[in-house]
Amino acid sequence: MNANNSPPPQWVKSSYSTDNGGACIEWAPGHAATSGVVPVRDSKNPQGPILNLSVGAFAGLVALARSAEL
């Protein structure tokens, strides 16, 4: 549990991530639904930093990912 006694986020890998070592991010939709803050992290470094985004900023990130030529 973290400092405010809430359970740790349940991380979900992005559907844009690949299993062959590609760019992988994870987010915690349950945490986002309850707090309004969307945590994002690098799935290859789960103990690393977490980027906390507003719902609007996360929507912009998803829109950018969808529009990018990969």
Distance CA 70, CA 54 (A): 25
Beta bridge partners of 27: 12, 40
The answer to whether residues 25 and 44 touch, using CB atoms and an 8 Å cutoff, is: no
Phi, psi of 46, rounded to the nearest 5 degrees: -65, -20
Q: Is 1 a residue whose pLDDT tops 50?
A: no
pLDDT (tens digit per residue) in 10-39: 999 876 666 665 668 899 999 999 999 999
Name the nearest CA neighbour of 36 among 9, 56, 13. Answer: 56
Domain boundaries, the chain: 12-67
| pTM of the predicted structure, to 2 decimals | 0.74
Q: Is 50 a residue whose pLDDT tops 90?
A: yes
Name the nearest CA neighbour of 46 among 3, 12, 6. Answer: 12
Q: How confident is the model at residue 68 (pLDDT cuts 50, 70, 90)?
A: confident
Give me the pLDDT at residue 24, please.
Answer: 82
